[in-house]
Homo-oligomer: A and B are copies of this chain.
Amino acid sequence: MRSHTRYLTMNVPARMDIVNITPEVESAVRESGVIEGLCLVNAMHITASVFINDDESGLHHDYKVWLEQLAPHAPIDRYRHNLTGEDNGDAHHKRQIMGREVVVAVTKGRLDFGPWEQIFYGEFDGGRAKRVLVKIIGD
Asked if B38 and A137 make an inter-chain contact with CB atoms under 8 angstroms apart, the answer reads: yes
Quote the shortest CB–CB distance from A122 to chain B (angstroms): 10
- Bound Cα distance A25, B92 (Å): 22
Asked if A138 and B53 make an inter-chain contact with CB atoms under 8 angstroms apart, the answer reads: no
Q: Please state the number of chain copies in the assembly.
A: 3
Q: Which residues of B contact A62 (CB under 8 A)?
A: 79-81, 89, 92-93
Residues of A in contact with B, size category: 35 or more
A residues apposed to B, CB below 8 Å: 1, 3, 5, 36-38, 40, 42-46, 51-54, 56, 58-59, 61-63, 66, 70-71, 79-84, 89, 92-93, 95-105, 107, 112-117, 130-131, 133, 135, 137-139
